[in-house]
Amino acid sequence: MRKRKLLNKVLNNSIVQFILYSPLADYHQWSLLKFVKCNAKKIKKNEKIIDIGAGELKYIKYFEHCEYKSQDFCLGDANWDFSKIDIKSSAYKIPEKDASFDYVLCTQVLEHLEFPEKAFSEFSRLLKNGGKLILTAPLGFGEHQIPYDFFRYTKYGLKSLGKRNNLKLIEIKPHGGIFINLEYVLWQSKNKLLPFNNILLVRYLYFFIFLPIKILSGGIFIFLDLFDREKTCTLNYNCIYEKI
C-alpha cells in the first residue's frame, strides 16, 4: 500500500500528468481527460453530480466547485483504494432519491456492467428533467478487469440504450479512428513481449523508457488518422445524454 501511494504521488505530479495525458503519449487518456474537464466547467456551483463507478476518484479535483458524490461497487483492480467512495452499492440500485442530480458521470464503466439496460434506467431515475449524463464507453478495447468485462458499444447501441430510458443522445464523439486504434493495439502488444509487465511499477518504467518512440509513433498515427473520416473503428466514444 505504501508503494502504491508513492507511485500515485509520482503519477499525480503536474509534469508527469502533462506527459501521461498528452495526445502523443496516450491519445485515449488525453481524450477522456479533455472530455471530463470540458464538461466539468459547465457545471454550476449549486448543481449536483454523482460519479458512478468512480474507482479511485480520478476526476474528483475537477468537480471541487460543485456538489460531488462518488459511487462504486468496489470491485476494480485488486490494488485500488476505494476508501474514499461515498456510496458503496450496485450501479443498478443506488440509495439516492429520484431526480436527485443535475449530472451523472460514468466513465469507462459500462463495459463492466452485466446489465447495462438496468444501469441506464438508474441513470435516468437519478437525473432531474433536463439533466445530463456524461458517459464514455469502449468499442475497440481488449478485455480487462477479467472476469468483470461484458460488452463493447457501437454508437447505435449507445443511442438505443438512451432512447429506451428517456435519455436523448445529444453528442457522441469517437477517440480517433482506425489508425489511433491500430497504434493502441501495437503498443499493447509490448505487454506480451516484455518480462514482468504484470507489475505496475515495471509497466510505468517501460512506459517512460519507450516514451520518445511512443511520442514519435503517436504523431505519425495521429497524422494518418486524418485520412479516416468515418471513424467507425474507434477505441472509445464520449457521449452526452439529456433526460427528457
Asked if 71 contacts 54 with a C-beta cutoff of 8 angstroms, the reply is: yes
The total of other beta-carbon atoms located within 10 Å of residue 231's CB is: 17
CATH of the domain at 116: 3.40.50.150
Give the pLDDT confidence score for residue 162 in this predicted structure: 98
What domain range is 219 assigned to? 2-243
Q: Under DSSP, is residue 209 helix (H, G, I), strand (E, B) or coil?
A: helix
Over the stretch 193-242, which tens digit does the pLDDT of each residue have? Answer: 888 877 777 877 888 899 999 999 999 999 999 999 999 999 999 999 99
Q: What is the pTM of this model?
A: 0.90
* pLDDT of 5 strictly over 60: no
For residue 98, give the C-alpha cell: 429520484
| Distance (Å, whole) CA 62 – CA 41 | 8
Q: Which of 17-21, 84-88, 175-179, 220-224 has the lowest mean pLDDT?
A: 17-21
Domain tally, the chain: 1
Distance CA 55, CA 113 (A): 14
When the pLDDT of each residue in the chain is averaged and rounded to a whole number, the result is: 92
pLDDT at 10: 52
- Of the listed ranges 8-12, 99-103, 206-210, 226-230, the least confidently predicted one is 8-12
Number of residues assigned to the chain: 244
- Whether the Cβ atoms of residue 52 and residue 60 lie closer than 8 Å to each other: no
CA distance 34 to 14: 15
CA-to-CA dists, residue 214 to 2, 24, 202, angstroms: 30, 7, 17
